[in-house]
Amino acid sequence: MTMDRVVFTFILLVIFLLSAAVYAELSKGDSVHGFKLVEKRFVQEVNAECFYFEHIKSGARLLKIAARDANKTFSIAFKTIPECDCGTPHILEHSVLNGSKHFPVKSPFDVLAKGSLNTFLNAMTGSDITIYPVASINDKDYFNLMHVYLDAVFYPRIYDDPRILQQEGWHYELLSKDSDIVYKGVVYNEMKGAFSSPTRELSYQVYKHLFPDSPYGFSSGGYPSAIPRLTYEDFINFHKKYYHPSNSYIFLYGDADLNKELEFIDREYLAHFEKSDAVAELPLQKPFEKMKKVVASYPLPKDSDASNQTYLTLNYVVGRGDDRALVMALRVLRQALISRESAPIRLALQKAGIGREVSGSIDDIKQNVFQIRVQNANPEDADKFYNIVQETLRDVLKKGLDKEAVEGAINRMEFRLR
């Protein structure tokens, strides 16, 4: 080892220790680069010191998990609440990645996908959230990815170029002068493909009727026939309303220098915004007076036999998603009641000859949805399906759950979480 190398290593070590020391000594209420430390805690499960900050000027929230992991991760999320079936959150997710103030190229996303050292690069739209996560083990690459993503969400080219909405959302297309005018668009085509699956249509119908007074009744991805109702004005207003730091949550994970991260995010982006109190809130759906029964249809190929092609589902709204103990309990119940091979609801439905596939799911959005589903059934089985599930649940209530099944489900869940 040459002397230069020793000195270099020493300097690096000192810088690391200094930076680590500053943050180790930071206590609640302290400010650094415009961020106020709200909470600091060592979290055993992730074996790391965790810092929760609030950006004073813009109202943004930031969580850093300072794990000793080279796979540095950045993500910014916005609460995006759909106001119609037009798929505005989803179209915006695609559109902001079509160039921005500092990166005015047509598709920075494709450039990054090809030319960066990223270990993860994507964007997702959920029913009430849009997330932009990136990860890299290379420090320079990580900061570059962060720069591109922050620029995309806060300064997208959509304000200057309406063609981005047309390309990513919808537009008319005429291939020849004699052909029909059709709708085209990246998200329009994607959602047409997605909704060609009967389970997607089923899920759309379930949420529409389970949440008639809540935004969860809308498809955040976009219902194909509704997508062409989206106007440029509504699209821009959606960005203005939801893509604000006060409505965002930034997440950092890994061994990048926290000081450098906070300094960059504050200087380049958050410091240019004023806190807004127009933070998006999701209203709760009130329970119904009595159970609702809904029949809906989906298309089958021409001349095909409709027997054994019906889906029967029973759906319950059960408490809130932020009650994590409840969500875990529901997952254990699903396993013990439905998913296991010898689960009582599965067995009872099989014995009665209803459908072919029995499954259960938990969706832990703001209000949890517990679903029991049978496919390859018939419409006349609907009442029988409902009665059998009710009888089985009453029976389980009397006899108790299979202890082994419950323990097995808890063990599997613990293993997966680790």
Hey, which residues are catalytic here? 93, 168
* DSSP calls for 266-311: HHHTGGG----S----PPPPPPPSS-----------TT---TT-EE
- Give the x/- contact pattern for Zn ion in 138-177, rule: CB under 5 A: ----------------------------------------
- Closest distance to Zn ion from the beta carbon of 195 (Å): 13
- Using CB under 5 A as the binding criterion, the count of chain residues that bind Zn ion stands at 1
Question: Using the 8-state DSSP alphabet, how is residue 355 labeled?
Answer: -
Contact 211/217 with Cβ under 8 angstroms? yes
At residue 64, the 3 state secondary structure works out as strand
Nearer to Zn ion, 156 or 254 (CB): 156
Residue nearest Zn ion, CB atom distance? 190
Nearer to Zn ion, 190 or 363 (CB): 190
Q: Quote the tokens at residue 169.
A: 């959302």
Query: Sign of the CA dihedral 120, 124, 126, 129?
Result: positive
Nearer to Zn ion, 37 or 194 (CB): 194
- Closest distance to Zn ion from the beta carbon of 242 (Å): 17
Distance, CA of 107 to CA of 98 (rounded, Å): 5
* DSSP calls for 83-148: SSSS-HHHHHHHHTTS-BSS--SS-HHHHHHHHS-EEEE--EE-SSEEEEEEEESSHHHHHHHHHH
- Residue 244, class by beta-carbon neighbours within 10 Å (0-12 exposed, 13-18 middle, 19+ buried)? buried
- Closest distance to Zn ion from the beta carbon of 348 (Å): 39
Please state the length of the chain: 418
Nearer to Zn ion, 151 or 190 (CB): 190
CA-to-CA dists, residue 218 to 85, 123, 226, 240, angstroms:
5, 20, 10, 20
Contacts with Zn ion in 179-198 (CB under 5 A)?
A: 190
- Give the x/- contact pattern for Zn ion in 196-235, rule: CB under 5 A: ----------------------------------------
- Closest distance to Zn ion from the beta carbon of 221 (Å): 7
Nearer to Zn ion, 53 or 170 (CB): 170
Nearer to Zn ion, 190 or 261 (CB): 190
- Closest distance to Zn ion from the beta carbon of 169 (Å): 11
- Closest distance to Zn ion from the beta carbon of 304 (Å): 29
**Interface residues toward Zn ion, by CB under 5 A:** 190
